[in-house]
Structure 1
C-alpha cells in the first residue's frame, strides 16, 4: 500500500516540486497540501496521512508550532525541510525535539551530489518514515538543565510495523537488572547513527555523568551547517562536555566529540596520547561525510580491541564494515534494537552480519554503558 503524504509549505512552487518528485515513486501518494502550519494541523486531522513533509518557516503558524500541535493531537511521522543556516539548524533541532523524525535541506542540490541521488534519497526517507507509527500519547523532549536529567522519549519513536526478522546470534537484552559488566578495559566509546540520531544521542548522553572516564566519538549523518548547533545544544544539556571535533583535538575523558558535517573524523596515535584528524573528503567512493565506517576503521587501528562501539538508528548500512574491523580486533559492538529505532537500517546491518553482541532498547543504553564502563 502506498505511503500517504501531506505536503506542507507556503511556497506553491516547492509544494508542486515535492509532490512531483514523490509521485514518481508508485509506493508514494500525495493526498493533500497545506500552505501554513495551522492548515497543516487541520488537514492532518481531516486526511490522516501516513507522514507529513513540513517547512520550518511559514505564516499563521510556523513549522515547529505545527509539529507540537500535530504530535499532541494526531501524532504523525514528520520530515522537516530546512534551510542550511545557523537559524535554520536551530529551528530544525527544535522541530526534532518537538517530535519530527528527520529533516532534509530545502535546496535539493544540498541533499546529494546530483539531482537523481537527491530524488532517490527523498523518496526513500519518505517511505521509511511513512511506514513508522507513533503512539497516540506522544511526549516531546523536554529541554532542561543537566542536573534535572532531561530524557528524550524514544518510546514515542518506536516502530510498530511488522518486519521480517533476520537470523541473529547476539543476545537480546531487555533489562539491565541482571546484566553485569564484562570486566573488559576500554580506551574510548564510539557511537554511529543517522535518521533518528539526534533524539537517540540526546537520550543517551544526558544520562552520562560528568566524570565519565573515557572520550566519546559521535558520528551523526548531518549537514555541516547543523553540527555546530547540535554540539552546542548537547553541551548545554549534558553533564559531560560535548564539542564539534576539530583538527588536532587531543582526546580527553568525559568529552564527546561530534564529527563535523561534510568532513571525516579519524583517530590517530597510540597509547594514552590520541588526537583527531578532521579533514575534507572529496572521494566519490564514500557516500557519507561524516562516515561511521571511516571513524570506526581508524579507531580499530588506533585502539585495537579496547573500544565500545554502538550503532544506533539510521538508514543504510554505514558502520557495518567499520564494526567488522573493530570486531576483528576484539572490540565490543552493540546495536540498538528494532523496536526503539526510527529506522532499523544501520543497526540491522550490523546485527545481521553477526557483529553485535547485544541488541539494546534505546532507553537502556545509557545505563548499560555505565555498568559496562564502571561509572555512575
Structure 2
C-alpha cells in the first residue's frame, strides 16, 4: 500500500516539483497539496495523510502554527523544509518543538539540478517517517501541551521486553569520567527531555552527538543552554570536559576526545555517512577513558553508534538505549539492543533521572 502524502508550500513551483518527485516513487502517492497553513489543517482532517511535508513561511498561517494545530486535532508525522541559516535553524527547532518529526533543507538549486539525488533523499525520508508513524504520532501528541520545551508528556506504555530489562538491578553508582549521548531523527526533542532533568551540579562531563547540519548546531546549543540547568555549548577544538557542561558536536565535523579530557574537532570525512558520527566519538571515548564512560543511544534512523558502543563495551563501559515505545524512530537504539550491547533500556522520560542517580 502506498504512503499518502500531503504537500504544503506557498510556492507553486515547489509544490509541483515535490509532487513530481514523490509521485515518481511507486511506494508514495501525493493525495493533495495546500498553499497555506489553514488549508493544510483542513486537508489533513479531510484526507488523513500518512505524512505531511510542510513549509514555514506561508500566507494566512505559517507552518509552525499549522503543525501545532494538526498535532492537536489529527497528529500526523510532519517533515519540515527549512533554510540552512541560523534563522532557519531557529525556525526548524521551533517546528520540532511544535511536533514536527524531522526536517530537510529547502534548496531550490538542488531541486532543479540534482533531481535523482533529491529524489533518493526525499523519498527515503518520507518512507522512514511513515514507517515510524505509530511512534511519531504518540510523540507528536505529547508535545502540544507546552509552547516551549521542556515538554511534559505521559510516560509511554513500555513493551514487555523493556520492562524486563528495567527489572534488572539498577546500574551501580560510579565516578564516570564521561556521559556520551548519540542520537539522530527525533533527537532534538529527546535531548531536551533528558538534559532538562539534570541538576546544575551534575558531576559528570557530557558530550552530545546529534546528526544535524553545520548551520543548525550553534542555534541548537544556544537553545539547550537556555532551557537546561547545566551549561550547553557547541564544541570547539581544545574545549576541556567539565562537570555540569555538555558539549555538542558541531555539524559537518567530527568530535574526538583525548586522554586529557580535551576535545578535538576534525574536518568531516566525506567517506563517512554521518558528520558528526556517534561511532567515532564513542570510539575515541573508549580509547581514552576505558571503563569510565556511560553511553546513551537515543532515537534515530540507522545504526550509527553500534560499533562505537561495541568498543565501549569491550573496554568495560556501560551502554544504555532508549526503548521502542518512546522512540520517534527505533533504529539506532534497536541496533544497540539487537547486538546485545545494552546494559539497560529505558523510556525517554526516565533517562535523565537514571543519569542523575548513577553518576557521582
Could you tell me the TM-score, scaled by structure 2's length?
A: 0.91
Q: Who is 1:279 aligned against?
A: 266
Q: Who is 2:146 aligned against?
A: 142
SS at match of 1:309: strand
Q: Who is 1:128 aligned against?
A: 128
SS at match of 1:225: helix
SS at match of 1:40: helix
The size of the alignment, in residue pairs, is 354
Q: Who is 1:372 aligned against?
A: 358
Following superposition, the deviation at residue 65 of structure 1 comes to 0.7
Cα distance change, pair 110–326 in 1 and its aligned pair in 2 (3 A): farther
Cα distance change, pair 183–207 in 1 and its aligned pair in 2 (3 A): closer
Q: Who is 1:316 aligned against?
A: 302
- RMSD across aligned C-alpha pairs, in angstroms? 2.5
Higher helix proportion: 2
Following superposition, the deviation at residue 335 of structure 1 comes to 0.8
Q: Who is 2:283 aligned against?
A: 297
Q: How does 1:111-260 map to 2 (within 5 A)?
A: 116-131=116-131, 132-133=133-134, 134-135=137-138, 138-140=142-144, 142=146, 150-153=150-153, 172-174=164-166, 180-260=170-250
Following superposition, the deviation at residue 368 of structure 1 comes to 1.2
Following superposition, the deviation at residue 15 of structure 1 comes to 1.1
Task: Measure the CA separation in 2 of the matches of 1:155 and 1:45.
Answer: 27
Following superposition, the deviation at residue 180 of structure 1 comes to 3.5
Following superposition, the deviation at residue 184 of structure 1 comes to 3.5
Task: Measure the CA separation in 2 of the matches of 1:218 and 1:247.
Answer: 15
Q: Who is 1:73 aligned against?
A: 73
Task: Measure the CA separation in 1 of the matches of 2:108 and 2:342.
Answer: 35
1:194-226, Cα deviation, whole Å (9 max, x unpaired): 000001000000000000111101000001111
Contact 1:154–1:340, Cα closer than 8 Å, also in 2 = no
Gaps of 5+ in 1: none
Task: Measure the CA separation in 2 of the matches of 1:71 and 1:209.
Answer: 31
Contact 1:31–1:49, Cα closer than 8 Å, also in 2 = yes
Following superposition, the deviation at residue 343 of structure 1 comes to 0.5
Following superposition, the deviation at residue 118 of structure 1 comes to 3.9
Task: Measure the CA separation in 2 of the matches of 1:187 and 1:143.
Answer: 35
Following superposition, the deviation at residue 123 of structure 1 comes to 1.4
Q: Who is 2:25 aligned against?
A: 25
1:348 and 2:334 correspond: yes
Task: Measure the CA separation in 2 of the matches of 1:152 and 1:20.
Answer: 39
1:152-179, Cα deviation, whole Å (9 max, x unpaired): 54868x999xxxx9xx8x984457xx85
Task: Measure the CA separation in 2 of the matches of 1:13 and 1:326.
Answer: 49
Contact 2:83–2:107, Cα closer than 8 Å, also in 1 = yes
Task: Measure the CA separation in 2 of the matches of 1:288 and 1:115.
Answer: 22
Contact 1:211–1:240, Cα closer than 8 Å, also in 2 = yes
